[in-house]
């Protein structure tokens, strides 16, 4: 820790301690120079690779010798705090970078250096090869969920801030990748918790409002110019089938295997509509209307506070297409085979 000055750097007089601005401070009684002792500025850089692993360096010197930390060091004169972070990254880890955002600012009382002010930036790697240098003896990338004990609390705070900053982005990306997986020849099943998707959060919402969705569909299908044949059908027969279709879609969203059940339901439904004299185009339109009401109900009653909320409904629209395209196929197969 830095020691208090004994002699004035301006005139050489012996320094004494006085109460100034509510604090005990070193002051020169001869020339009046006050020696303010401020926290030392420290810059730190957090870099992540495409696997969402954090770059750490192992310290070769005290304090915290042998522990892992983010590339970190004191800011120097004639450089900004962001420039200091990039310089420390280059000196300790061997890579160049570009500052993306400020992650955290933290005060830290070091027994070794005194009061520190640690500023951490998220940095994107732009060049170089990872290699230890300066105060580091080793570099490595570590998974966010498997980090070693870090040398400084400010590093833990910065890692937490980075995770929070990317939380929605990563969730959307992961869910989109699962959505883009091959569907195959039937209804896709998502059987494990690891395969869950963001739009799954809308499942309970849909299930709680099946009656409202079905009622809105029934009113639409009995009034639309594209489904005039449904006006002669008994609402008491239409409504339960709409309820079942919506619940079946909800169960499919949660990973329940419905392939055989759905195939049988929609082929039988197509056969019934053919026998009732409903036109093939109207059968197709009725199912498109049901799909529309499921999606619009979730869309119109959602709370849009973050981009991830918008993505949930857009993803639901894509999954509606995946499910009901198969439903249309089997319903038309049943219609044609009647």
Q: Could you name the CATH architecture of 1-37?
A: Single Sheet (2.20)
Q: According to DSSP H, which parts of 73-152 are helical?
A: 81-93
Please identify every residue annotated as catalytic.
Answer: 138
What superfamily does domain 193-337 belong to in CATH? Answer: Globins (1.10.490.10)
Q: 233-282 pLDDT, tens per residue?
A: 999 999 999 999 999 999 888 878 888 999 999 999 999 999 999 999 99
Report the predicted TM-score, pTM, of the whole model to 2 decimal places.
0.73
- List, in order, residues 6 or more apart from 18 with CB less than 8 Å away: 24, 25, 27
Instruction: Write down the domain spans for the chain.
Output: 1-37, 40-170, 193-337
Most trustworthy range by pLDDT among 19-28, 229-238, 313-322: 229-238
Name the nearest CA neighbour of 146 among 48, 51, 53, 47: 53
The DSSP string of 165-213 is: HHHHHHHHHHHHHHHTS--TTS-----SGGG--GGGGGHHHHHHTHHHH
Q: How distant is the alpha carbon of residue 152 from its chain centre? A: 26
Question: What integer pLDDT is reported at residue 12 of this predicted model?
Answer: 81
Nearest Cα residue to 293 out of 245, 232, 258, 238: 245
CA–CA separation, 213 vs 43, rounded Å?
Answer: 55
Residue-wise pLDDT tens digits, 158-186 = 999 999 999 999 988 888 887 776 544 45
Kindly report the number of other CB atoms within 10 A of residue 105's CB atom.
13
Superfamily of domain 40-170: Nucleoside Triphosphate Pyrophosphohydrolase (3.90.79.10)
């Amino acid at each position: 820790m830095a020691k208090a000055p004994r002699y004035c750097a301006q005139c050489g007089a012996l320094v004494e301690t006085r109460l100034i601005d509510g604090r005990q401070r070193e002051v020169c009684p001869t020339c009046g120079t006050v020696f303010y002792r401020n926290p030392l500025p420290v810059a730190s850089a957090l870099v992540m690779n495409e696997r969402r692993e954090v770059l750490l360096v192992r310290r070769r010197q005290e304090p915290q010798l042998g522990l892992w930390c983010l590339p970190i060091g004191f800011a120097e004169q004639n450089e900004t705090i962001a420039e200091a972070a990039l310089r420390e990254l280059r000196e300790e880890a061997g890579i160049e970078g570009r500052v993306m955002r400020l992650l955290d600012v933290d005060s830290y009382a070091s027994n070794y250096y005194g009061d520190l002010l640690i500023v951490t930036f998220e940095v994107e790697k732009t060049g170089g090869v990872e290699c230890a240098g300066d105060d580091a003896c080793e570099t490595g990338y570590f998974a966010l969920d498997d980090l070693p004990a870090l040398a400084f609390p400010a590093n833990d705070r910065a890692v937490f801030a980075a995770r929070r900053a990317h939380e929605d982005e990563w969730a959307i990306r992961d869910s989109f990748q699962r959505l883009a997986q091959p569907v195959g020849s039937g209804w896709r099943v998502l059987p494990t918790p690891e395969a869950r998707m963001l739009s799954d959060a809308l499942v309970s919402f849909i299930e709680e409002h099946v009656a409202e969705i079905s009622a809105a569909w029934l009113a639409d299908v009995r009034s639309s110019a594209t489904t005039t044949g449904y006006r002669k059908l008994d609402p008491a027969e239409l409504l339960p089938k709409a309820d079942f279709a919506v619940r079946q879609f909800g169960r499919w969203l949660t990973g329940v295997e419905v392939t055989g059940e759905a195939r049988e339901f929609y082929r039988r439904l197509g056969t019934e509509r053919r026998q009732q004299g409903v036109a093939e185009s109207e059968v197709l339109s009725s199912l498109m209307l049901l799909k529309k009401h499921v999606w619009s109900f979730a869309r119109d009653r959602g709370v849009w506070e973050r981009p991830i909320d918008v993505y949930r409904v857009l993803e639901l629209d894509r999954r509606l297409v995946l499910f009901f395209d198969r439903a249309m196929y089997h319903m038309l197969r049943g219609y044609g085979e009647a």
